[in-house]
Structure 1
Amino acid sequence: MSFRPAGNIFRPHALDNICWRCSRQMIAQLAPTPIPISISKLSTRSFSQAVSLRHVLRSTPIRLKAGYFISNELSIRNPGGIGHDVKSADPDHIPPHRRRRQKRRQQDAASSSSSGASVVEGVAATEDVLPPNASSILTTESTKQTSSFRRQLSLYLSLSKPRLTVLVVLTAMAPYALYPVPDFISPSIGLDTPSLSPLTLAFLTTGTALCSASANAFNMLYEPKWDAMMSRTRNRPLVRGLLSKRRALAFAFLAAITGVGGLYFGVNPTVAFLGFANIALYAGVYTPLKRVSWLNTWAGAVVGGIPPLMGWAAAAGEYATGDGSFEELLLRPESVGGWLLAALLFAWQFPHFMALSWSIREEYKAAGHRMLCWINPARNARVALRYSIAFFPICIGLCAAGITEWSFAVTSAPINIWLVHQAVKFWRHEGFKGSARGLFWASVWHLPAVMVLALVQKKDMWSKVWKSVVGEPALDDDDEEYYEDEDE
């Protein structure tokens, strides 16, 4: 290795292909131990003279100035574990792209340490990052509140798992709006009159939200010790001791009594029974079953399918001619639409939860929760794919049952295909290569998209809107006499 002139007589002191710092890097990588490099001879030598390798390897201390060859400043990392960090005394001399890269690395390190994400099976930690838990976010925000009332309100709201509660309420409201309203002909104006009551919808929404909040509070009361072992739940109020168990228990019972009572007196007894069943199954079956068997996921899917039945039974109760019993509202042939909507929510739980649980499977395992994501990852992926395919017959069944127009089967097909595509990737890679994250976000957007399409294409909705805007065609005298003869 030698330093030679560039071959240009006008640049006698320029280097050919290598600089001093680059030579240090090459020597550090080749040598088994760090070798101090001498420059005592080189300091008095012209660059036009050749230098041998032994002059470079002399063991005299390095006495370079901080700005020497600053354009080639770099951080040398040796794969064998021996490293040298060469940093400029003045950070302004660091090139902008390296400053941006260093800033990004610092941000990634800070976010990974705060969220507790870890690298599993050689996968980068950023691939397994999940959206923050709403209860944990509210708990953190409550500590920043200066008002005691706002702090307590945030803590109680975090007990209800607000994102999950909002989802439960929306899945109860959609079937209420999709219920096929019977046509009542007003003899005076001859138009279809509206039917569903806003007051009933208000009681349904409030009661369902309170039942969901109660079930979630009981869930947190049961497992604070195991919540502390998981990064997404360790910030919950009971884990951090920001709320006593006595107050949490009082909140859970108060929400249950108020919610079930509101559904009983404001809607009908069948909906109240379903609301109580939702609390009992989630807090009494699903939560303890998590530590016993992987069948807990199916129990949780049953809980997710109850809110659509609540919305359907609430709408059916307004037209019930009998006592409004469970059999009358949900076990008649015309109630098939409610069960199809419940099946849609039941099936949706699997691609959503299987993808979500895979990302934190090691935490589930450490906490002792029996989940397919770590017990049998291959089966976990197969279940997600199987229930993703089930959306095709469910959407077609809604059309055949007269709940939506047949166009719904066509417009929902691309969304279902997208979900199945992500589920196939999840099945092939068993969650790796970003497939778990892709299926999770596909499931997040799939459900609201399907629900909105169903509401927009409700059976006969647009024809009724058209009639209400344009009006019924006027009848001729002969037509009026015909209908009068028919009535006689």
Structure 2
Amino acid sequence: MSESTGLMQPAPLAAPSTASDRAADPLGLLSAYIELSKARLSALVLATTAVGFVLGTQMNTPRAWALLFWTLVGTALCAFGANAMNQWIEHARDARMERTRGRPLPAGLLSRPHALTFALLTAIGGPLLLAWQTNLLTAMLGLLTTLLYVAAYTPLKPLTPLNTVVGAVCGAIPPMMGWTAATGELALPAWILGGLLFLWQIPHALALSWLYRDDYERGGFRMLPIIDPSGRLTCQAAVLYALALLPFGLMLTLHNVCGAVFAIGSLVTGLLFVLTTLWLFIRRDRDSARRVFFASILYLPVVMVLMVADRTPLNRSGVYTELIGIYDAPVSVTPPAETPR
């Protein structure tokens, strides 16, 4: 945001003045497609996918790095398709909201047919690429995420606050995809990772919808802070979900996926996150909601870095053991000795 300095500023030279001018510019067109893909949200999806992958295998061979690359490309296409389709469906509502009216469709930077074509190509291409380069299970999870986001989360937003829960399910699946791409199995650690991401998203989304509840109301979306004017239910939900994160973080250590450093770090970070939600419950104001929002943004990368940095040697071998019975230890078969003749 620019600030006035009291001095006359020179006029920009040959700056595009209309949406059509910006769309005709190659860089402007690229920027519009990046915005249609919700690049920042997609980057978070890829980060959680990468964490799930790295926790599931050792990264000491070129094949592992190549597999991670194709997993991320396929997951990115799934995310791009889901996000583009969401904007294609919600373009009229986005035009009413201050926060979203600059998106490519309401701003006229892209036509609806172009956006739909991009959405379909990426949404179909992502699972196909995952099936080709990783495995069918990962591809099916990618397809499920896209379908849930487009066919459940998006239409539920104007109908019920439960859309937040469905959206959290969509966000919980990418780390599970990373794990399945690396291991081929939907094992217990994958469910723990998914559960942690699911729980984290609820207070994060509630804080965001509190901050923009007037905007969401203009768009016709039924977010919990809108139908809960006192904020009591919203704050209770934020506290409960933040508290539920604490044991989920520890479960990765209890199941020998991560070590003690992660356990301590995730517990401390989680407690700080809980404190911000408790403060929101006490104050119920915009500043407290902003603290929860930024605390959630801090919590996730700290926890993910701790996960990767404190992976247990057992898990680095790529075999998640007999401790839980999810995988069996590899069995070596010794051929019978030849009988002397």
Task: Report the TM-score when normalising by structure 2.
Answer: 0.83
Contact 1:275 1:310 in 2 (8 A): yes
In the other structure, the counterpart of 1:438 is: 291
1:176 aligns with 53
**1:237 paired residue number:** 104
Within 5 A, what are the aligned runs for 1:56-455? Answer: 148-179=25-56, 197-317=64-184, 329-330=185-186, 335-376=187-228, 377-432=231-286, 434-455=287-308
Q: Is this contact kept in 2: 1:142–1:151, CA < 8 A?
A: no
Deviation string 1:156-194 (CA, Å, 9 cap, x unpaired) is 11100000000001111101101155xxxxxxxxxx975
Question: What secondary structure sits across from 2:252 in the alignment?
Answer: helix
Runs of 4+ off more than 4 Å: 139-147, 192-196, 461-464
- The residue identity in structure 1 corresponding to 2:311 is K
Quick check: which has more Rg, 1 or 2? 1
In the alignment, residue 310 of structure 2 is paired with which amino acid?
Answer: Q
- Answer whether contact 2:57 2:182 (CA < 8 A) is retained: no
Aligned counterparts of 2:42 and 2:62: Cα–Cα separation in 1: 27
- Residue-pair matches, total: 306
Alpha-carbon separation, structure 2, partners of 1:196 and 1:424: 46
Cα distance between partner residues in 2 of 1:370 and 1:453: 36
Q: Cα offset for 1:418?
A: 1.1
Shift of 1:273: 0.7
Q: Which amino acid aligns with 2:144?
A: A
Rounded to whole Å, the distance in 1 between the matches of 2:313 and 2:21 is 51
* Alpha-carbon distance between aligned partners in 2 of 1:200 and 1:308, rounded to the nearest angstrom: 15
How far is 1:407 from its partner?
2.7
Q: Note the C-alpha offset of 1:462.
A: 11
Given that residues 143 and 151 in structure 1 are in contact (C-alpha distance below 8 angstroms), is that contact kept between their aligned partners in structure 2?
A: no
Following superposition, the deviation at residue 240 of structure 1 comes to: 1.4
Considering fraction of residues, name the structure with more helix.
2
Q: Helix, strand or coil: the match of 1:292?
A: coil
| Partner Cα separation in structure 1 for residue 183 and residue 75 of structure 2 | 17
Please list, as runs of the form range in 1=range in 2, the aligned pairs for 1:452-463 lying within 5 A after superposition: 452-460=305-313
Q: Distance in 1 between matches of 2:246 and 2:79?
A: 29
Structure 1 unaligned residues grouped into runs of 5+: 1-102, 108-138, 182-191, 318-328, 465-487
What is the CA distance between 1:408 and its match in structure 2?
1.6
Encode CA deviations 1:186-242: one digit per residue, 9 max, x unaligned.
Answer: xxxxxx975961111111000101110000000001111111111110111100112
Q: Secondary structure at the match of 1:197?
A: helix
Residue 49 of structure 2 contacts residue 178 of structure 2 at CA under 8 Å; is this kept in 1? yes
The question of whether the paired residues in 1 share the 8 Å contact of 2:57 and 2:315 is answered with no
Q: Secondary structure at the match of 1:240?
A: coil
Cα distance in 2, alignment partners of residues 264 and 463 from structure 1: 25
Paired with 1:193 and 1:236, the residues of 2 have a C-alpha distance of 41
String of CA shifts for 1:329-369, please: whole Å, max 9, x gaps.
Answer: 11xxxx11110000010011011111111011112122211
Question: Which whole-Å CA distance do the structure 1 matches of 2:182 and 2:18 have between them?
Answer: 38
CA contact (8 A) 2:29 2:109 kept: no
Consecutive unaligned residues of structure 2, counting only runs of 5 or more, are 6-15, 318-336
Conservation of the 8 A alpha-carbon contact between 2:256 and 2:315: no
Q: Between the two proteins, what is the percent identity of the paired residues?
A: 37
Deviation at 1:148, TM superposition (A): 2.7
Q: After TM superposition, give the deviation of residue 141 of structure 1 in Å.
A: 12
Bigger relative contact order, structure 1 or 2, given CA contacts below 8 A and separation 6+?
A: 2
CA RMSD of superposed structures (Å): 2.7
Task: Kindly indicate whether the alpha-carbon contact (under 8 Å) linking 1:355 and 1:439 is maintained by their aligned counterparts in 2.
Answer: yes
Give the partner amino acid of 1:338: A
Residue 431 of structure 1: how far off its partner (Å):
3.1
| TM-score for the superposition, normalised by structure 1 | 0.59
- 2:23 and 2:109 in contact (8 A); partners too: no
Residue type of the alignment partner of 2:55: L
SS in 2 for 1:458: coil
